[in-house]
């Protein structure tokens, strides 16, 4: 009996451990072999931090400054939807802050449209290549007044036929600012810088390369920068043939044929005379004098025959030697 | 040597200019290995790393949490900050006294013993109960902590 108790005593701890182990494992139950996921979308927060683009466009005003300017910024060649539109008093530099990523950073497809709120100025575009973020200073842009433009045509007063190749010049006093010639259709267009808008003694001179007296007219751009002119050259159809023309300057146009009679006018070279009567030394005829913009009157008088030559309508252009005179 | 320095400087400059976006990554829990396109960035929080715009894959694995894989199209920006909240896995005990039932979780995991220990990702799981091949019950198990569920036929699960 003692021997049995001794054996029990010796193996009791191991027995108890076995009982505990099997008891607990049966209590815990089996572990499922895999982790079971429900494929739930993970919670993720993504935060972008965008930098700014500081866009600077220095401006320089030539001659005049418009009161206000509307600036429009377009990106990525989209000229329909400006990303920014600012109306402000004409600044020394245009400054705008744009969000990162709006500009094309590969090509010059970004545009700043400068629209002066003044009819004397034309809108200007500045194309530029963008940056990702940071400061972008563009080259200085000069804001000029819009060009003054004169367009129209040149024609013969006699029959309204268009004259091609007639010279047209814009002059301030006698200084030629710009010159051109009417084209095959008798049309011309000539422009000068906008700063001449307020210049006095601005005039257009047309037909200096023709045999007739040139057309001269004072120009007034105060109401519009663009003028349209129909320039009639030569004598009108009221001047009856035969037509003669003075062949030099300061030709006496006198009241009567007698020597010493009163001189009504001193005619310039190219003045056309409609001859009505002839004497051995003198012609009696009419000259055309314009009173205002559209009204011409005829005045009669006497001129020495040697001061006139017959008008040849087959060639109304001055010869080279005549032009060099 | 001079040339080598030049090349090193140019390549460094290029890498800085190309990968211009600053990257910060935080995770809950902290100190987790973060992989970007298969490259270990180190342990979170990750600060002042660089990333190029475009498609990238983030992977995070930690024992006790569901592995996370996230594809992200990174837009051009000055900086990007990512916060990942890992989904924990809880130990669940599931017990029933009903006889002859087969249990199925999320349409793929099955057992038929009356008492089982499970490791479940936090969130909702779909439980279906079968008896002789027929569905006799369907329930949603919501796991948000270690729990012990007791199942009684056609009654809502009770936990303790």
Same domain for A153 and A140, yes or no, is no
CA-to-CA distance for A271 and A287, rounded, in angstroms? 8
* Of B77, B105, B117, Cβ closest to residue A28: B117
pLDDT band of residue B9 (cuts 50, 70, 90) is: very low
pLDDT band of residue B88 (cuts 50, 70, 90) is: very high
Q: What CATH number does the domain containing A112 carry?
A: 2.60.40.1120
Higher per-residue confidence, B13 vs B65:
B65
A21: pLDDT strictly greater than 60:
no
Give a yes or no: residue A38 inside a domain.
no
Sequence-separated (6 or more) residues with CB below 8 Å from residue B18: B52
Cβ within 8 Å of A, B 8-37? 20, 22
CA-to-CA distance for B84 and B59, rounded, in angstroms? 10
Distance of residue B134 Cα from the nearest chain A Cα, in angstroms = 23
Q: What CATH number does the domain containing A317 carry?
A: 2.30.30
Domain total of chain A: 3
Tokens 């206000």 locate to A68
Q: Do the strands A296-304 and B68-74 form a parallel or antiparallel pair, or are they unpaired?
A: unpaired
pLDDT in tens, A276-298: 888 888 889 898 887 766 677 88
CA trace torsion A301, A304, A305, A306 (10° rounding): -150
Give a yes or no: residue A15 inside a domain.
no
**CATH numbers and ranges of domains, chain B:** 20-85 (2.60.40), 89-159 (2.60.40.10)
Instruction: Give φ, ψ of B27 to 5 degrees.
Output: -135, 155
Give a yes or no: residue A42 inside a domain.
no
Residue A51: CB atoms within 10 A of its CB come to 17
A16: pLDDT strictly greater than 60:
no
pLDDT in tens, B12-34: 444 444 457 899 999 999 999 99
Give a yes or no: residue A25 inside a domain.
no
ipTM value: 0.81
Give a yes or no: residue A18 inside a domain.
no
What does the block give as tokens for A215? 């057309």
Same domain for A112 and A139, yes or no, is yes
What does the block give as tokens for B25? 């990554």
What does the block give as tokens for A30? 């089996």
pLDDT in tens, B98-151: 888 999 999 999 999 999 999 999 999 999 999 988 999 999 999 999 989 999
Same domain for A78 and A119, yes or no, is yes
A6: pLDDT strictly greater than 60:
yes
Domain span holding position A277: 243-324
- SS3 state at A70: strand
Measured between beta carbons, which residues in chain A are less than 8 angstroms from residue B27? none
Q: In what order do the strands lie in the sheet with A226-233?
A: A187-192, A148-156, A226-233
- SS3 state at A300: strand
Transcribe B19-69 into DSSP letters.
S-EEEEEEEESSS-EEEETTEEEEESSEEEEEE-SEEEEEEE--TTB--EE
pLDDT band of residue A263 (cuts 50, 70, 90) is: confident
B72 interfaces chain A, CB cutoff of 8 Å:
yes
Sequence-separated (6 or more) residues with CB below 8 Å from residue A5: none
Measured between beta carbons, which residues in chain A are less than 8 angstroms from residue B120? 35-36, 38
Measured between beta carbons, which residues in chain B are less than 8 angstroms from residue A133? 78
- Of A96, A111, A144, which residue is a domain's last? A144
CA-to-CA distance for A70 and A96, rounded, in angstroms? 13
Same domain for A140 and A152, yes or no, is no
- Of A233, A262, A286, which residue is a domain's last? A233
Q: What CATH number does the domain containing A164 carry?
A: 2.60.40.10
Contact: B87, A45; criterion CB under 8 Å = no
pTM tops 0.90: no
pLDDT in tens, B68-83: 999 999 988 889 999 9
Same domain for A140 and A153, yes or no, is no
A125: pLDDT strictly greater than 90:
yes
| pLDDT score recorded for residue B11 | 41
Same domain for A276 and A207, yes or no, is no
Same domain for A204 and A262, yes or no, is no
Per the prediction, chain A carries an average pLDDT of 85
Give a yes or no: residue A35 inside a domain.
no
- Of A98, A120, A144, which residue is a domain's last? A144
């Amino acid at each position: 009996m003692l021997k049995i108790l001794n054996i029990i005593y010796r193996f009791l701890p191991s027995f108890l451990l076995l009982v505990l182990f099997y008891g607990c494992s049966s209590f815990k139950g089996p572990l499922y072999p895999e982790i079971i996921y429900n494929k739930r979308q993970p919670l993720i927060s993504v935060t972008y931090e965008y930098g700014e683009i500081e866009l600077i466009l220095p401006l320089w005003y030539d001659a005049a400054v418009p009161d206000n300017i509307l600036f429009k910024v377009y990106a990525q060649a989209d000229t329909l939807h400006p990303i920014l539109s600012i109306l402000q008093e004409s600044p020394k530099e245009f400054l705008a802050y744009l969000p990162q990523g709006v500009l094309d950073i590969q090509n010059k497809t970004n545009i700043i449209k400068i629209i002066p709120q003044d009819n004397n100025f034309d809108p200007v575009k500045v194309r530029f290549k963008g940056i990702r973020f940071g400061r972008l200073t563009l080259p200085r842009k000069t804001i000029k007044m819009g060009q003054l433009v004169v367009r129209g045509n040149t024609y013969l007063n006699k029959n309204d036929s268009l004259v091609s190749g007639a010279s047209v010049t814009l002059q301030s006093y006698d200084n030629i600012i710009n010159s051109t010639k009417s084209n095959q259709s008798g049309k011309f267009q000539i422009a000068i810088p906008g700063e001449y808008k307020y210049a006095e003694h601005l005039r257009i001179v047309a037909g200096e390369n023709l045999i007739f007296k040139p057309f001269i007219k004072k120009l007034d751009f105060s109401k519009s920068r663009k003028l349209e002119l129909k320039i009639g050259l030569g004598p009108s159809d009221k001047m009856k043939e035969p037509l003669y023309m003075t062949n030099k300057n300061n030709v006496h146009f006198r009241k009567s044929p007698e020597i010493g009679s009163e001189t009504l006018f001193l005619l310039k070279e190219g003045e056309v005379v409609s001859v009505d009567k002839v004497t051995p030394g003198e012609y009696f005829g009419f000259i055309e004098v314009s009173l205002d913009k559209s009204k011409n009157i005829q005045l009669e008088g006497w001129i020495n025959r040697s001061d006139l030559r017959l008008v040849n309508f087959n060639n109304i252009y001055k010869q080279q030697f005549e032009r060099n005179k | 040597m001079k040339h080598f320095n030049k090349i090193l400087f140019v390549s460094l400059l290029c890498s800085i200019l190309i990968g211009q976006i600053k990257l910060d990554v935080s995770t809950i829990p902290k100190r987790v290995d973060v992989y970007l396109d298969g490259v270990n960035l180190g342990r979170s929080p990750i600060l002042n790393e660089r990333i190029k715009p475009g498609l990238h894959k983030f992977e995070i694995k930690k024992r006790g949490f569901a592995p996370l894989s996230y594809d992200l199209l990174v837009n051009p920006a000055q900086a990007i900050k990512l916060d990942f909240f890992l989904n924990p896995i809880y130990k669940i005990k599931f017990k029933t006294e009903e006889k002859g039932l087969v249990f199925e979780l999320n349409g793929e995991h099955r057992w038929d013993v009356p008492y089982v220990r499970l490791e479940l990702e936090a969130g909702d799981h779909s439980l279906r109960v079968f008896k002789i091949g027929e569905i006799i019950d369907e329930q949603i198990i919501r796991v948000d902590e270690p729990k012990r569920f007791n199942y009684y036929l056609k009654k809502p699960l009770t936990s303790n």
